[in-house]
Amino acid sequence: MRKIAALAGGILLLPAVVLAQTTPFTATGWINGVQSPPIICTNALGQVLFRGYVHSARVQATDPRVTGQVLIINDGHYNADGTANMQGNSYLQVGTWDAAGTNFVPTGGLWDWSWTGVMQPDNSAQVHIVGYGSGGTIDGLRIDQTLTRAKAASPLDPTVPYVYAGTILPPPLNTIELVNDFNEPFTGASYPGGTGTCSTDNGRFYAVGDFPTDTGGTFDYTFLLGQVCPSAGRNVANDTTCEWRADLISLDENATNMAGMAVSPLPGPGYAFYKGRDFAFLLKWSKNYQGYSILWSDRFPSPIPNTNVVLAFALTREDPNVVITARVLDMADPNHALFSHSVLDTPASDPSLTPAQFYTSTGMQMPVLVPDAAEPPPTSSIGTCLGLFQYTDGQQPAPTAVYDNFELRTSGIPFVGVERAVRLSWPVSATINYAVEAAPTVLGPWLPLQDQTLPGFQIMTVPATEATQFFRLIQTP
């Protein structure tokens, strides 16, 4: 379900996520100084290495945000066919040049670029560059570009320019919005499977369900949901994750009570995530309601409390599909997931549980289960409900669920930049934690790598110890 960036004798980069306006540009650069010529040596294997080739170039671009003085640091090695593999870092100080191209005036902002490329025996070159901006008008922006150079008399030939073509990308989408603090009276709709009330009091949301619907001794299921996020205007853009979170303050423990969160352009199609002490499940209904489908049901290895936890429910849109992720987080440490499960919902009819499979997993009889309907997953005009679910024989006390701090977190699906062949970077997400794994082949074995966090990005340096190595970004709890 997740995209993979692979490195195997070259670089395969994930496409940039276009979440806001992007700006294409072209630029031309001329070498105007050599701070350090390369140090060249031959190792025991006969490989010719060069290190510390540092030079500068004057860059004139169609976008003033990419015009400036660039310092280029180049390392690499020569191949038997005369080509050279190169990688390094570049730092472009944004500014203006006079008409003669000799006097430079900085105007603010610094691009931090990482790059990799190949130089041909005739000194022509092809390079891919990615990076981000700091300060001035470029603060937080990203960049993705290529550099080419035609045949030149030498690697330091100042008469043959660097030709850039690329795109300035907006900062990574990463927002947190408090949707409902429950300080106002409850005015949303309620969707009862019995009798009950939804209300707010003292900054909290209360769902109280009274379900005396079956007094014959045979357990039945019933629910109560209160709409706490209006259905108008909550859209999930492509290549975007929207995650709704609510603090579950408490839930009564009598019978099989479960806290719930539903997401749907009501009345459907939509999803409901229910969490009890011992298990959780994901329920789906179709646009033209035919019954419920259970996309998954999981028993917890050990009970998860029904107090002071966070219910988190996310839709990640990757047209035409949606990845659904349900999590239970520790309220004291929201970065710690007590439970997480993801599933892919496609426009086709996807796998779902039979009544027998659901009973085996939960111990609950739910005979009105139907196969998943073949229809596009919901992504627009999303409304959200909080509530509870009870598996009851009509003799159980009325359960109460108490919620607080209902919020929406939105983030873009990160694209992975493979830089210098050993440096990985991706935007920090408000909704999902990621970890990197590495393997000698795409089939594995995949092993975790330790990462470090920088403002707005996560960047990892991986020792280049293998001739071929693959990387992938996976979702973690």
- What confidence tier does 315 reach under pLDDT thresholds 50, 70, 90? very high
**pLDDT > 90: percent of the chain:** 54
Alpha-carbon gap, residue 285 to 245, rounded angstroms: 21
Q: What is the CATH number of the domain that holds 407?
A: 2.60.120
Give residue 402's pLDDT: 97
Query: Same domain, yes or no, for 311 and 165?
Result: no
- Say if 84 falls within a structural domain: yes
- What confidence tier does 7 reach under pLDDT thresholds 50, 70, 90? very low
Q: What is the CATH number of the domain that holds 162?
A: 2.40.350.10
- Say if 448 falls within a structural domain: no
The last residue of one of the domains, among 130, 154, 169, is: 169
CB 68 within 8 A of CB 92: yes
Strands across the sheet containing 447-449: 11-12, 6-7, 469-476, 433-439, 447-449
| Residues β-bridged to residue 68 | 59, 94
Residue 104 tokens, joined: 């430079």
In the chain, the number of structural domains is 2
Query: Same domain, yes or no, for 160 and 223?
Result: no
- Say if 370 falls within a structural domain: yes
- What confidence tier does 452 reach under pLDDT thresholds 50, 70, 90? very low
Give residue 232's pLDDT: 57
Alpha-carbon gap, residue 9 to 12, rounded angstroms: 10
- Say if 430 falls within a structural domain: no
Q: What is the mean pLDDT of residues 423-452?
A: 71
- Return the closest-CA partner of residue 243 out of 323, 314, 334: 314
- Say if 52 falls within a structural domain: yes
**What Å distances lie between residue 97 and 58, 67, 70, CA to CA?**
8, 8, 12
> Over 70: is that where the pLDDT of 49 sits?
yes
Residue 115 tokens, joined: 């790059």
Query: Same domain, yes or no, for 145 and 285?
Result: no
**pLDDT > 70: percent of the chain:** 85
- Return the closest-CA partner of residue 324 out of 360, 378, 374, 260: 378
- Say if 432 falls within a structural domain: no
The last residue of one of the domains, among 411, 427, 447, is: 411
- Say if 138 falls within a structural domain: yes
Query: Same domain, yes or no, for 219 and 349?
Result: yes
Alpha-carbon gap, residue 342 to 243, rounded angstroms: 13
**Which one of 114-123, 263-272, 414-423 scores highest in mean pLDDT?**
114-123
Query: Same domain, yes or no, for 189 and 323?
Result: yes
Query: Same domain, yes or no, for 28 and 164?
Result: yes
Q: What is the pLDDT of residues 200-255, one digit of tens each?
A: 999 999 999 887 765 555 677 888 889 898 655 588 988 889 999 999 999 988 76
- What confidence tier does 454 reach under pLDDT thresholds 50, 70, 90? very low
Q: What is the mean pLDDT of residues 369-393?
A: 91
Query: Same domain, yes or no, for 32 and 136?
Result: yes
The last residue of one of the domains, among 169, 194, 228, is: 169
CA 305 to chain centre: 28
- What confidence tier does 420 reach under pLDDT thresholds 50, 70, 90? very low
**What Å distances lie between residue 422 and 89, 131, 461, CA to CA?**
12, 14, 6
Query: Same domain, yes or no, for 162 and 216?
Result: no
H or E stretch at 357: helix 355-362
Query: Same domain, yes or no, for 298 and 160?
Result: no
Q: What is the span of the domain harbouring residue 208?
A: 175-411
- Say if 455 falls within a structural domain: no
- Return the closest-CA partner of residue 193 out of 135, 279, 122, 262: 262
- β strands within 120-194, DSSP E: 125-134, 142-149, 162-169, 174-180, 190-192
pLDDT mean across residues, the chain = 84
Query: Same domain, yes or no, for 36 and 52?
Result: yes
**What Å distances lie between residue 295 and 121, 287, 364, CA to CA?**
57, 16, 15
